[in-house]
């Protein structure tokens, strides 16, 4: 079951970033499927951990690209990354330590992440990087 299918609207125009986003979308879909199919906490926890690990790596990757090509919006973008990671860590803590069901929180987090971060914030960075890397 896919919650989000990759399509050209999600492309930011930078191949490296798009490849990372495709992998993130795949992990997000796996997490949603595990929640919807009521897999055990161990399975959901592992996927959630994979999502956080890959998201952290991806954000560092984007930040290296922005610094390399001197993207003027770097600091604001990096701040948004930090805020998104903090949200994700809170979700993981609530799941791991408090035994909280993640379904509603995860769906809201995914919606915000995809609609705001990729479709708005990353699009600006992607257009910039596309012009620089061509």
Residues 6+ apart with CB under 8 A from 74: 63, 66, 67
First-residue to last-residue Cα distance in the chain: 35
Mean pLDDT of 6-31: 91
pLDDT value at position 2? 62
Lowest pLDDT segment from 19-23, 41-45, 82-86, 93-97: 93-97
Q: Quick one: DSSP state of residue 113? A: I
Q: Is-above-0.85 flag for pTM? A: yes
Helix extents (H) in the chain: 15-36, 41-68, 74-98, 103-112, 123-133
The domain limits of the chain are: 13-133
Q: What confidence tens digit (pLDDT) does each residue in 86-128 have? A: 988 888 888 888 777 777 667 777 777 777 888 889 999 999 9
Identify the three-state secondary structure at position 71.
coil
Q: Domain 13-133, what architecture? A: Up-down Bundle (1.20)
Of 2, 134, 125, 1, nearest to 64 by C-alpha is 125
């Amino acid at each position: 079951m896919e919650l989000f299918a990759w399509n050209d609207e999600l492309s930011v125009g930078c191949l490296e970033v798009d490849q990372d986003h495709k992998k993130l979308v795949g992990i997000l879909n796996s997490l949603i499927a595990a929640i919807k199919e009521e897999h055990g906490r161990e399975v959901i926890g592992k996927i959630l951990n994979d999502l956080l690990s890959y998201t952290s790596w991806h954000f560092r990757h984007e930040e290296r690209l922005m610094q390399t090509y001197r993207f003027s919006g770097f600091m604001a973008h990096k701040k948004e990354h930090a805020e998104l990671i903090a949200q994700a860590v809170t979700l993981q803590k609530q799941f791991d330590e408090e035994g909280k069901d993640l379904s509603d929180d995860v769906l809201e987090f995914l919606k915000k992440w995809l609609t705001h971060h990729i479709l708005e914030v990353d699009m600006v960075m992607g257009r910039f990087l596309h012009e620089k890397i061509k």
